[in-house]
Chain A
C-alpha cells in the first residue's frame, strides 16, 4: 500500500510550545480585581459592579494573553475553563447566600429551650419553642414513609421485573410521570377531599397530611428504585435462575440486596424532598400551639406550617411580631439541618450497603 496522507496538509509538528508561566492566572486575577475596585470606586457601582467587572476582566484577559503567547487551542481552553468556573460560582451564589441568611438569623434562636418548649400559653416575646412542630413533622413524615415506601418499591419491582414492556407497565409508568408533576397543593386538596368524603366536612387530621405527602413521595420512590433495579446486571438474575432459584426469591435475595444501597439513598432523598412540604399540610394538618400525638384527630403542628404561620404573624414592629419572625428563622434553620442530615445519612447508608468488591 503506497497511499499516504499528503504531507503538505499537516502542519509542522513540534512537541514544545510557548506557555504562559504558572502564575499567569493569579496575576490576571489580581489585575482584574484591581480593575474591579477601580471601576466601582470611579463610577460608584458598589460591590455588584466590582464583582461583575473583575469577573469579566478575568474571563477576557487570560484567554487574550494566552492567544497572543500560546496558541488558539490553549486560549479556548482557558476561556472555557473560565466560563465553567464562573457558572459554578453563579450556581453556588444563591445557595450560599440562602444558607448564610438562614444561619445568621436562625442560629441565635437555637437553644435547648427552643427545641423542647411548645408555643402553648406563650405570649409576646417569652421563650417559646418548636417541640410540638418537631414531633408533628416526625409523625407525619414517618406515616408518609410507611405508606409510600412499600407501595413505591413494590411498584418499581413490578415495572422492572414483571411488567417490562407490557401495556399495564407502560400505563403505570405514564401515570407515575404525571404524578411527579402534581403540584403539592393539589395533592393536599385531593387528600382533604378524601377526608371530607369519608369523615365529613371540616375534618383536620395529620393522617390526611401523610396521605398528601405520600402522593408526592410515591413517584419519587418508584422512579429512583426503578433506576436502581435497572442497574442490576441481568447476569445475576440468570445466575440465580440457573441455580434453580424461583423468580420471587431471586428478586428478594439477589436483586434487591444488590440494589439496596441505591434504593435506600433514593428513599432518604424522597423523604428529604417532602419533609419541607407546606401547602398540603396547611390545608389538612392545620396549626396548633401544643403537642398533639394523635394523628387521627385534631390539628397537628409541623415545622413548615409553623414557619409559615409564625412568619405571617411576624410582620410589623411590635414585640410579639419580632419574636415570631425570629422563631420562624429558628425553625427554618432546624428544618434545613434536618434535610441536610437526611442527605448525609443517605450517602452514609449508600456507602455501607454498597456491594463490596474487596479490592
Chain B
C-alpha cells in the first residue's frame, strides 16, 4: 500500500516569490528519504507540496507535477482533502488539539472525519498507534487526560501516533525531533525504522547523524545564492551521499565547511 512519489519540474511559489525551483526526484516506496540543507532553502516548503498543505497558505501555488503512485496529485479534479488523507504529516512543533484528551487526539483523524467506530475498534486503534509511537506505556493509565498535559517530547510522539492512526500511505516529517531529548529522539528513530516496512517516509532534519542513521536516500537542498530560490542540489543513496558525494557543495555542507 505504500506508494512512491515522482516529482518533476516542480516550482514552488509564495505569491510572486519563487521559493524552490525545478525539483526533479523520485522518492521510493517503503524507504526513508531524508532532506537536508541550510535554513531557509525550502525543505519545509517542498515537503508541504507533497500533501498539498502548501496551498493552505494564501497566495501559495506550485507549477509542475507530483505523482503519487499513479495519481498526479496536482491533476484536475483531485481533492486536496483526499490527498492529505493518503499522505500524513508530522510538524516541527508538537500541536495536539487542546480541547481533546490523549485518547481523542489519537482518534482525531477518524473522529473529525466522522468515521463511526465501535468502542473496541477505537481502543484497538489507539493502543496500536500509541504503541507504534512508543508512547503507550507512558500514557496508558491516563488516556483521558488532556493531550496538552504531556511533556513536549511526549506531545510530539502523540502527534506521530495521531498521524499513523489514520494509516496513511506516506508519512512526511518536518524536523520531528528538533524539540526532543536524545532518548525521545532514539524512540522516534526506532519508530521510523519500524514504520518504513509499511510506509513511505520523508523526513526533514538538520541532524546529519540522524539522516545517516535513519535514511536510505538523502536529498540535499541549497540556495543558489542569497536571494535566489532553493533547489535540489543532489539526491543519492545515503551511504554514497555521506561518503563520496557528487557535488562539491554537498561535500562542503556535510563536512561542516559550509558558509
How far, in Å, is B95 (CB) from chain A's closest CB?
Answer: 4
Does the CB pair B85–A357 fall under 8 Å? no
Does the CB pair B112–A254 fall under 8 Å? yes
A246 to B114, CA, bound (A): 11
A323 to B133, CA, bound (A): 74
Q: What sequence of 0s and 1s flags, for each residue 165-198 of chain A, a beta carbon within 8 Å of any chain B beta carbon?
A: 1000000000000000000000000000000000
Which B residues are in CB contact (< 8 Å) with A245? 81, 109, 112-113
Does the CB pair A238–B108 fall under 8 Å? no
Contact of B99 among A165, A239, A243, A355 (CB under 8 A): A355
How far, in Å, is B97 (CB) from chain A's closest CB?
Answer: 6
Contact of A239 among B91, B146, B166 (CB under 8 A): B91
In the complex where A243-B112, A243-B166, A244-B109 touch, is A258 in contact with B97 (Cβ < 8 A)? yes
Which B residues are in CB contact (< 8 Å) with A13? none
In the complex where A165-B58, A243-B84 touch, is A257 in contact with B112 (Cβ < 8 A)? no
Does the CB pair A233–B84 fall under 8 Å? no
Which chain A residue lies CB-closest to B144? A358
**A250 contacts chain B at the CB level, 8 A cutoff:** yes
Q: Is the interface of A mostly helix, strand, loop or mixed?
A: helix
**A249 contacts chain B at the CB level, 8 A cutoff:** yes
Which A residues are in CB contact (< 8 Å) with B112? 240, 243, 245, 249-250, 253-254
How far, in Å, is A61 (CB) from chain B's closest CB?
Answer: 51
How far, in Å, is A246 (CB) from chain B's closest CB?
Answer: 5
Q: How many residues of chain A have a CB within 8 Å of chain B?
A: 27
Q: What sequence of 0s and 1s flags, for each residue 226-253 of chain A, a beta carbon within 8 Å of any chain B beta carbon?
A: 0000000101111111111110011001
**B93 contacts chain A at the CB level, 8 A cutoff:** yes
**B41 contacts chain A at the CB level, 8 A cutoff:** no
**A22 contacts chain B at the CB level, 8 A cutoff:** no
How far, in Å, is B105 (CB) from chain A's closest CB?
Answer: 10
Which B residues are in CB contact (< 8 Å) with A357? 98, 146, 148-149
Q: How many residues of chain B have a CB within 8 Å of chain A?
A: 32
Q: What sequence of 0s and 1s flags, for each residue 244-271 of chain A, a beta carbon within 8 Å of any chain B beta carbon?
A: 1110011001100110100000000000
In the complex where A164-B58, A257-B99, A355-B98 touch, is A242 in contact with B53 (Cβ < 8 A)? yes
How far, in Å, is B161 (CB) from chain A's closest CB?
Answer: 12
How far, in Å, is B174 (CB) from chain A's closest CB?
Answer: 10
Which B residues are in CB contact (< 8 Å) with A246? 81
How far, in Å, is B36 (CB) from chain A's closest CB?
Answer: 22
Does the CB pair B95–A244 fall under 8 Å? no
Does the CB pair A239–B97 fall under 8 Å? yes
Does the CB pair A235–B97 fall under 8 Å? no
Which chain A residue lies CB-closest to B159? A239
Which B residues are in CB contact (< 8 Å) with A257? 99
Does the CB pair A243–B108 fall under 8 Å? yes
Residue of B56, B88, B93, B114 ringed by the most chain A CB atoms within 10 A: B56
**B145 contacts chain A at the CB level, 8 A cutoff:** yes
A322 to B180, CA, bound (A): 74
Q: What sequence of 0s and 1s flags, for each residue 125-145 of chain A, a beta carbon within 8 Å of any chain B beta carbon?
A: 000000000000000000000
Which A residues are in CB contact (< 8 Å) with B85? 243-244
**B123 contacts chain A at the CB level, 8 A cutoff:** no
A357 to B51, CA, bound (A): 30
Contact of A241 among B56, B58, B114 (CB under 8 A): B56
Does the CB pair A236–B88 fall under 8 Å? no
Within 8 A of B (CB), among A196-240: 233, 235-240
Known: A243-B88, A243-B166, A245-B113. 16 other contacts (CB 8 A): A164-B58, A238-B56, A239-B96, A240-B108, A241-B84, A242-B88, A242-B89, A242-B91, A243-B109, A244-B81, A249-B114, A254-B97, A258-B98, A355-B146, A356-B146, A357-B98
Q: Can you list 24 A-B pairs, Cβ within 8 angstroms, ordered by A?
A: A164-B58, A233-B95, A236-B95, A239-B96, A241-B84, A242-B53, A242-B84, A242-B88, A242-B89, A242-B91, A243-B84, A243-B112, A243-B163, A244-B81, A244-B82, A244-B84, A250-B112, A254-B112, A257-B99, A258-B97, A258-B98, A258-B99, A358-B146, A359-B148
